[in-house]
Every structure is written in structure tokens, then in C-alpha cells.
Structure 1
């Protein structure tokens, strides 16, 4: 039975715990996680495994093993050192992604200082690889936390991250609830549903946990039964403050984190990729993360820069552009695939970097049922032009703009597709000009309209004097023909009416 919905004004914190963040960063670039991968860290003087993927676990590898012993069990095991810097960067990127679901997102304590100082911190954030979202304000849009939590778990799974969601009225209780996938709606539920948790789930010093256990305390309920003064006297003010934050008896402000105005993400590949089409899977995950960030900020992109890093060769760089700002991941992925089909890799790819340095305001509009509005028809043409440019090159596809000149062959020039066109359509002029006028016999055509005299160009040495007529040939096609008097006399076909 689901708990009752949150009432307006009641705070509700939803926490996303990322217990396998280090491993996810190492394996999210794999389409099929068949390569056995483990993450190690230096504890004391030895390298110990912190986590491993299912392929390694099936071979008998377990967290806590010495790295050397694990490689002795499985010689194909790929042991990667933990990279705290990448974890911090990933948390900040996911915080920006979460902005599409909440206007208040918080990172673990110490993240801002680590970013400012440029040094990863162990301790609080190291133990709490998680994100806090205030979910009450967005309940009418995304549903109650017990619906939003599983949705976020699924969407983060598509990005390559394993997440567990939980919610409660206080940030500290939400952290505990996320570990059990619980959704609590009152302080009473905090006591009853979280009371059975062992003490090591609390975010307190391990020495304090051992002291509590030596005195016979085993669960959170055992501590909550004690008067606050007794907890302070026995275990210190820090433990008492933690319990107060769990129950909401003291303020627990969470500073809001604001996303940057650019997007810059790296995805390191656990195995080298030699085929360009195999790059589509990790790029899809990066593009979906980008579009989540764009939705959170009501922004869009019109250009992306992709850098493919090689072992001992300069980066291979791609630029993907659209005709209009977008936050559609499928649209960007199609264009990226078109570029990858034409790409030749000098070496295997070890890392992918995706950058969007110019985030533009999104002008969203309503769609018609049959996509027959002028704006939607223009979007279809734009997307066709984008795909053609991605496949053939930007210089191979262009538009047309007008030039103030009476001579038809000099009254236009090519333009970039994103350049505004100055061309004005004239009903009595054809929509298509021949590349070069073709001499004809006017006796084979029937004149429908004309003449229209054009006499110009004396100042640039390309002067002409012509009389233009609208004519029809034997097959029924309507053409534009002229009788030329200078520089050479005769009849010519110059255009075709659509």
C-alpha cells in the first residue's frame, strides 16, 4: 500500500544513492558488459578491490580481495584504480541532469570545496556517493516520490549508472531510506520504518559505532529510545546532532547546487574501440545526459564538439551542428552516426569527450496533430538538410539568397543554411534556372506571356539586352525563354516553372 500523497508545503527529500559509482564510470562505455572489471583502492599498503562487475563476480572475484589475489583467480580481470576526481565530476554532471526533475539539488558535503580547491576529499563525500533532490515542489509534474524514485533509477540506468532511491521529510532520513528503497512521509514513519536499521548505517565515526555496540546498542531504535542528554553524554554532541537531523529536530540546511553554463563530459572506455560504429553506444549515453541537462535548464544546443582520444596520436575531432537549437537526443545521435560513417580512425579510441560550450535559450512551441503548420514543415526541411550535411559535408549543401541585379544568372548566390535569406519569390519568375542558357528554336514552343525586357550590365562588361517570354513545349512543360539581341542574337531557354 502506497503512503498518502505529500501535502503542499511539506518538505520531502528524495535521495539517489550511487553505490557503484566508481565501477559505473569504468564500464558505462561498454554495450555488453562481458569484460571482467574491478575497481581497486589503496588501503594501508596494499591494493584491495572495492567493487567488481557481474562478469568478474561469476568467476569468484569479490570486493575486499587483494588485487593480486583476484588477478590470480581470473587472469583476464581488468583492475582499474579508483579515481576520486572522476567521481566528483560525475556527481556534478548528474546533479545538473537532475535539475530537470527538481529546482533544488544538493551534493554531498565537501563537493564544493573539492571543486574550488582542485583536490578530491575523502571522508563525508567519499562515504556518500549520492544526490539530494527536493521533491515536494515538483510532485504535480512528476508524481509522488514513490513514483519519481523508480523513474529516476530507470533513466540513470540508461545512462549507465546504478542508483537506489528513497525519500523522507528530512535529508538525513532520506539518505537512510534510500539504502532500503523506502519512501517515508512522516516523522513517525522515520521511527517505525528506520528503527530496525543497524547502527553502521548511520553517518557517524566508526569509533562511535564500535563504542555503541560495546554498550549493547544494535539498532537505530535503541538509540532513539535514549534521552537526548544521555546520547550527548555517552557518545558526544556529533552523534546527538546526527539523530536530531534524522528526526528533523534541528535544522539541516542543504546548499543548492547550480549547474554550469556549459557542458563538458568525458567517458573513459575500459577497452579500446577500433570501429567507428561501436562508438555510437557510449556517445548515445553522453548525448542523453546532455539532453537531460538541457531540459533542466530550459536550454538547447546548436553545435557539439566531440574529441576522440587515442593512445599516441592527436585527438580526432568532430563538430556536429543543427539548423535550429535542439534538446532532442535522437536527433543529435542520428547526425553523429552520419559523421561516424564517414570517419576513419587513425588509432583505437580510449576516451570520448563531449562539449557544448554555447547553451542557447529554448523557444518551445506547440505541435499540431498532423505536423502541417509552417514551423513544423520548416523543421522537417531543416532536419533533412542536417542529415545531408552530416553525410556529404557542410560545403556540399547550401541555400540560396538574392543579389540586387536584374540579370537572372547574377541575381543569386549560395548561402549557409543558417544565414538569413534575402530572396523574394516572384510569381512570374521560374523556380529553377538552368546552369547555362540552352539555345532553342522558338517555332517549337507556344508563347504564353511576354515580352519582359531586361537590359543591364553595361558597367561591368557583361551587358545584355533580352526579351523574356513564358512558353510551353510539346510535352506541356512551362519554360522561361528569351530572345537575345546582345552580345549574340538568338533564342534560349533559361528556366523551368515548377
Structure 2
């Protein structure tokens, strides 16, 4: 099957990284960067554009047009990190993903995915819609070569084959071709106005008139020369950062940006066929930081499940000061196992198990994971050391021990056994010399005057006497 390349161009990524958090629609905002010793406008939202603010305009001039203009400095490192995350997100649609060098473009080989996602043009439309839902303004295009797909994305076209590519290039003005200003001026001086006029020359004439780098780029554009792209490779962990467009004073106001971040994360997990069991969230506040985690009972990537837990946590969270930014961190990306299906492909029902997992996850979201534990046994004769608290849902061995009461007194209470009736015993327990908590006891099952069956022992060391250890239910 011939290659079909899909390019995703993010022309407004610098602005998207701020506005995708959900800024007020009426707030005029612009992104700035230093250029030749002065601050200039890189991009702006619609309210700012309505005041006449334009890219390339000095910041002082922009403020003169819009005094309430909110300025945010461009963050090139954040843009590169976002491209890497989106490459991981796009991996769910193609096993061949590449990040453009020095440009806000992702390349996907879509030909091999046609059986799963349809033709490249249909997949391009789907990606644009899904990226818009994540808060990114993307333009997509498809073509037989990566460079042509990039051109198609800028033109908003889908080029099906080599013949259509040649037809497109034949009428393409030089202004729309990927050229440096020097190359464009040189070609205009030669009398060229369209790309077709250049490509119509004999090969020998082209080689004589054009610099070798430009000729090589044109060859790669047309598929006459190989154009290998460095493959993107998945990471073993996940990090995401989102600056908030305005201070958020109430925790519930964080749900929308967090939901978008979780949507992006779940796409990454689908691409790697992975799931997570813990999501760490750090909030940068005006004064200090606040951290919390969400735990899942089994590796998952269900967006609705995670958002439900986030909503539960945020309903009980009080911010000590306004939030400025959000960081997500997943330390371990785990293999994902889909629920087993029946003969007809339907997920097998496990209502009791699902209900328990849901309850534990919601309790963890509301109270904190540290407040929810399991209960397990330990190979230890001393009752006070014979149990442990593993994470909830984790399998724990249950060693075979003599009959023991369910409820233990902590600490054991002194008692008078003068009117107790012995039912069983004694059982000698002598242990602990190796850890400094040695004991020597004789245990009995007795019936107290009120008719309760109790577990008592006679202590010989370190504090002689009779003690109530537990009560049989």
C-alpha cells in the first residue's frame, strides 16, 4: 500500500497553551516575545484582535490600543513539551509519528492505518475535531510525502496521489511555497511566479539555476528523493503542565482544565496500550503549592472514571490561595488489560467487583488514599503483630493460624478471670526475643459472666497478670 502522510499543523500553539485552560471569553489576551531588543506581539485572541492588536506589533503600541490587554510571555520550552505530548497522543492513530524540527507540525503515516480509521482525509478531519476538543487549533492536510502533507495542512487541502500533487504544485504561487526570503527574491528575479513554472524546466536547467539545498527540498516535496523522518518513541512516564489564564479561587473551577488534561492523557494511554493506577496532581498557588493524588484499583484509562474521581476530590478541596497552574505526573505507565468479554464480545459482568472498586476509588478521592487500606495476615504468633494494612484491593496472604477472635483490644486490658469459665487452652506463645518485644503468654478461650466468649492470656513477661486480648463475634 502506498504511503499516505498526514500533517497536523498547530499555528497558534503559543496561545492555545494558555486559552485551553478556559479563560473568560471577554478577556483580551496576547502572547509576547523579545525580538531585536523589544517585546512584540506573537499572537492574540479574538477580543484583542477586535481592538486592532496584530502579530508583530510592539507591546507598547498594543497597550495603546487596548489598555486592559493581558500579556503572557511566550514559553518555547512548554511548546516543545506540548508537541511531545501530542505526538504521544497521536500514537493511537499511527505507529509512525514524527515531530517537525523547529516547527509546530506533527507527521503521521496514515496509509497503514486505513483499515482501522479509514482514508487519510477522514482521519485528518477526525484529528482536527479531537484536538479542538482538547483546546488546540489545528489544521490538517494529507499528501503522498511528508513535505507535501505539511504544505497541504497550510493550504487546508487533502492531496490523494502523486498526480494530484503535481497539479497542485503547477498552480501554486511562490508565496505559498516553503522558501526563505532570499530564495523567494532570487526566484522572482528569475521571472518565476508559480511553482509549476520552476518544475516545468528540464532537470539539467533546474540543477543549473537552483541551489542544491532548494532543489533537494523540491525533490522531497514531490517524492523524487527519500525524506526520512525521525521516529517519535514513547516515554516510560508522563508529565503535563498547564498555565491557567486567570487565577482560580475555587477548587471546582479547576475541573474544566483538569478534564482536558485527563482527556489528553487517556489518548496517550490508548496509544501505548497502557493504563495508570495513580495520578499525581500539583497545583501552583499564589502562595505555595498543593498536592494530591488519585488512585485506581486497577490500571485504567477511562476518562469518565477519572473525571468522576476528580470531581469528587475537588468538591471537598479548599484552596489556601488562588491557583495559577496545574501539573500532572504519572510515575508508572502500566500494561492495560481490557475487561474479558463473553462469546459475543460483550464485557463480562462483575457487578460486585466493579461496585467495590468504585466505592474504594470514590472514598480515596474524598478522604485521600492514605485513609483507605486493606487488611492482611502475617506469619506471626503474637496477635498484635499478626496483621498488616496493604493497599485496598491488593491480594494478601492469609496464613493458617489457630482459631482467633475477629476483634482485638488495642492495647490489651487487664482483667479479673476469677468468675470466667475456661473453654479451651492453654496455648503457649513465646516469641519476639529477636526484635526487642519478647513475650511469654498462656492464652485461653473463656466465657465471661455476661456470656461473651473472650480470648484472655496470662502474661509472664514483661508485665505479669491477666489480660483481655479479644472478643469472639
Contact 2:294 2:364 (8 Å CA) reproduced: no
Contact 2:340 2:347 (8 Å CA) reproduced: no
| 2:224 maps to 1:249 | yes
Residue of structure 1 equivalent to 2:261: 286
Comparing 455-464 with 289-298, greater Cα deviation is found at 455-464
Q: What's the RMSD between the two structures over aligned residues?
A: 3.3
Query: For 1:402 and 1:39, how far apart are their aligned partners in 2?
Result: 59
Deviation readout 1:380-431 (Å, 9 max, x if unpaired):
3112211112112334433333567999999876543043133599xxx9xx
Equivalent runs, 1:259-338 vs 2, <5 Å: 259-311=234-286, 313-338=287-312
Aligned length: 435
1:456 to partner: Cα distance:
5.7
Aligned equivalent of 2:107, options 132, 135, 138: 132
The SS at the match of 2:41 is strand
Comparing 302-311 with 337-346, greater Cα deviation is found at 337-346
1:291 to partner: Cα distance:
1.4
> TM-score, structure 2 length as denominator?
0.82
The SS at the match of 2:375 is strand
Query: For 1:302 and 1:410, how far apart are their aligned partners in 2?
Result: 29
Residue of structure 1 equivalent to 2:19: 27
Residue of structure 1 equivalent to 2:98: 106
Query: For 1:261 and 1:407, how far apart are their aligned partners in 2?
Result: 43
Structure 2 runs not aligned, ≥5 long: 410-422, 430-439, 458-465
Contact 2:131 2:138 (8 Å CA) reproduced: yes
Residue of structure 1 equivalent to 2:415: none
Deviation readout 1:438-459 (Å, 9 max, x if unpaired):
xxxxxxxxxxxxxxx7646554
Query: For 1:190 and 1:300, how far apart are their aligned partners in 2?
Result: 41
> TM-score, structure 1 length as denominator?
0.78
Residue of structure 1 equivalent to 2:436: none
1:145 to partner: Cα distance:
1.0
Query: For 2:383 and 2:455, how far apart are their aligned partners in 1?
Result: 16
Query: For 1:391 and 1:484, how far apart are their aligned partners in 2?
Result: 37
| 2:7 maps to 1:15 | yes
Aligned equivalent of 1:464, options 436, 444, 448: 444
Query: For 1:413 and 1:64, how far apart are their aligned partners in 2?
Result: 64
1:18 to partner: Cα distance:
0.5
Residue of structure 2 equivalent to 1:348: 322
In structure 2, relative to structure 1, the CA distance for the partners of 1:190 and 1:463 (3 Å cut) is same
Residue of structure 1 equivalent to 2:417: none
| 2:339 maps to 1:365 | yes
Contact 1:31 1:281 (8 Å CA) reproduced: no
Aligned equivalent of 1:56, options 41, 48, 52: 48
1:11 to partner: Cα distance:
0.7
